[in-house]
A and B are shown apart, each in its own frame.
Chain A
């Protein structure tokens, strides 16, 4: 089975510019997550989708971050405008259901550097 695909793998932008990340989850996985992992810290949940609906975006800085999951498959995460503190790895994960027993399948992430 193909894994969770993310692109780009690396991105360097200047502050105040915009950037977008793409995620393609495992086929049939209804639940999709975006996590932010700042260097030296554990991943922090930004947003959770169930099919194409948002379940939880309480940790998403909505003044600059936005995310969508059209047709319940691919998802994009956008930052506009970027700040220096947005430098991090952005991980996408998916799972078949939201059940407690299921671990997530993660992509390899996008490393964002804001200069």
Chain B
């Protein structure tokens, strides 16, 4: 069985500052993918960034980057230069050999002007 844990129910950040959201996971597999999804009040889940477990290099998408620590089973998301539009629920998710996404409980990010 695979599990995903997000220990921060809520986080806040000042506009233009940097914030890091934490995620840990557990899986017995060695080949899997990790994802961060954003869910704004519109409810539509939007893919932010993905990381392949076999790649050592951390993924980056514009202001979003991850810190992937495979041995520690940790996958944190860093948002740089935070914008008001970044305010949303953020979900960490894992996909293994069963090809199904397993989600964490989410972190609610507030961006203060």
Contact = CB atoms under 8 A, between A and B. Distances in A.
B52 A93 contact: no
Interface in B15-61: 31-33, 35, 37, 42-47, 50, 52
B31 A41 contact: no
A25 interface: no
B33 A42 contact: no
Interface size for chain A: under 10, 10 to 19, 20 to 34, or 35 or more residues?
A: 20 to 34
A61 interface: no
Given A100-B31, A100-B33, A109-B44, A42 B105 contact: yes
Contacts of A108: 42-44
Given A108-B42, A109-B43, A111-B43, A100 B32 contact: yes
Contacts, number: 60
B43 A101 contact: no
B33 A91 contact: no
Secondary structure dominating the interface of A = loop
B91 A42 contact: yes
Interface of A: 3, 31, 33, 40-45, 48, 56, 89, 91, 93, 98-101, 103-104, 106-109, 111
